[in-house]
Structure 1
Amino acid sequence: MDESALKQLIKLDEFAFRSNLDRKTLDLVFDRRTLEAIKYAFSRYSIDYLDFPISTGKESVVFRAVSDKRYVVVKVFKMSTLKFMNIREYIEGDQRFVKQRIDRMSIISLWVRKEYTNMLTLYEKHVPVPRPIGFFKNILVEGYIGTKEKPAPQLKDVQVTEEIYTMTLDGIKKMLSARLVHSDLSEYNILYHRRRVYFIDLAQAVDIDHPMATEFLKRDIKNISTFFSKHGIKTSFEEMIQDIKNAIPKNLEQED
């Protein structure tokens, strides 16, 4: 990369200090709680340093980092900008977390734990996702997907082929077989590396028994169908539903 992680974040105004809690303050990544969490995560997961930011958004910043001479990913969720109401619907109704307290103080750490849990479930079922490494408070550590020079591209930046379409469908089927629905699937959270697709951003994935699982699955399939259709791949929502029907548990089956 041409610029260090530090220089890029300074340009993004992530370290600015302001006495008033204005809009820019709410976007800051490194408040004191996060710095303390990063310090602990670095020690616990043997992280040497942050290499460069892979992506930055309203809710998180994703870094490539180095751990024991190997690349890993460190995802830092912003403590002040993760919207309580936006993520609550993906937790409530998920039987795996039914006994967990859900309030504004605990929901971020629960959200990070949920992404790790989903990733671990899928990884163990051989669904193509990053290798889960660990988590602490608002910090998630996972395997890096990419080359020494740069991270793997998102699907939106790839020359789309029938092979990629087939792999994406197979990934959705495997995810369903693992009893999970991604719930936010699009060309932005699928990576392509060495002729394989990888599903990322898994915090919102829900168990198939979640009351909104069917609607989330429909939305996922609609998004993917629309994307591939725009790139000349012959498909449709109805065709995709039919294609993955055998992988859909009975309580999620759609009417023909």
Structure 2
Amino acid sequence: MAGRRDLDRFLDEYYRLTGKEPRRSDKDLFEVVEEVFDAATLKALLELVRRRVIFELKGVVSAGKEARVYWGKDFEKRDLAVKIYLTTSAEFRRGLIKYLEADPRFAGRVPKSTRKLYSTWARKEFSNYMRMFKVGVSVPRPIAVHENILVMEFIGENGKPAPLLREVDPDVETLAEIFRAVMEDVRKSVLRARLVHGDLSEYNIMVWEGKHYIIDVSQAVTLDHPNALDYLYRDIVNVVRFFSKQGVETPRPEEIFKEIVSNLR
């Protein structure tokens, strides 16, 4: 937890870098979420301000056990989604270790330090987003990562995030189009980015202005992960199950899985 002196030093430097006039609301934001803004996180946030990635944070738009997502602005006043991993969650820490130890990209290199562990996890999510984004998968555009902070494109407007797939109620024709687009992104992710999401469902697909966005890709694994194909099949089953329940005619999960795997090189 950041002490008052840490917070005051942070705000002094923050106002110097941004040229903003001191506001009580800024101090309130950082004091209220003291479990997120410990001294090290304040330092990391300040570095992103110094790099002119973040101009300001406006407030929390999503809060989970492992992270908070904030609506922010960059120096051009464009919207940002700023995801800050909580370095105090012991339960989440155990889960991270399990995922990282099984990921060939981190074999034998899982940090023992809690802070470095969360920093590694944030970098993993950024890397996964970047690999997907580069091959045309519809994900929020990744912008920057530093320590336990991940910055990306904000999907939504005026600080209100886009609804999740499970929260929208379009007609069956529109749903069928979304289903086809999501499955095409699963193919791209596997065949071009060589990644499997590993937890894909209606809970981590956003829908905004007629387009879907796949989110929460931190647990995505490369194809050389021992469970990659099992995770792929599970993702396909989850997506097919949801759309089938909404009245969309879909191929059987095993057909989709077989088609994708047959194209692996």
| TM-score interval, smaller chain | 0.7 to 0.9
TM alignment of 1:198-217, pairs within 5 A: 198-217=213-232
| Counterpart contact for 1:62–1:76, Cα < 8 Å | yes
Letter in 2 for 1:172: V
Q: Which structure has greater helix proportion? A: 2
> What's the counterpart of residue 85 of structure 1?
94
Partner Cα separation in structure 1 for residue 264 and residue 132 of structure 2: 20
Unaligned runs of 5+ in 1: 16-27
Match of 1:147 among 134, 139, 157: 157
Partner Cα separation in structure 1 for residue 151 and residue 84 of structure 2: 9
> What's the counterpart of residue 129 of structure 2?
119
CA RMSD of aligned residues (A): 2.5
Deviations 1:62-103 (A, max 9, x none): 011000211111100000116233123332232333353332
Question: Aligned to 2:71, what secondary structure does the other structure show?
Answer: strand
| Counterpart contact for 1:185–1:223, Cα < 8 Å | yes
> What's the counterpart of residue 175 of structure 1?
189
How many residue pairs get aligned? The number is 233
Could you tell me the TM-score, scaled by structure 2's length? 0.79
Letter in 2 for 1:232: G
Higher Cα radius of gyration? 2
Provide runs of 4+ in structure 1 moved above 3 Å. Answer: 4-10, 249-252
Partner Cα separation in structure 2 for residue 224 and residue 60 of structure 1: 25
Letter in 2 for 1:243: I
Could you tell me the TM-score, scaled by structure 1's length? 0.81
Partner Cα separation in structure 2 for residue 5 and residue 247 of structure 1: 49
Question: Aligned to 1:247, what secondary structure does the other structure show?
Answer: helix
Residue 174 (structure 2) pairs with residue 166 (structure 1): no
Letter in 1 for 2:89: T
- Cα 1:182/1:5, change in 2 over 3 Å: farther
> What's the counterpart of residue 242 of structure 1?
255
> What's the counterpart of residue 228 of structure 1?
243
> What's the counterpart of residue 137 of structure 1?
147
Q: Identity, % of aligned pairs?
A: 36
Unaligned runs of 5+ in 2: 1-24
Q: CA deviation at 1:7?
A: 7.2
Partner Cα separation in structure 2 for residue 168 and residue 124 of structure 1: 16
Partner Cα separation in structure 2 for residue 35 and residue 8 of structure 1: 12
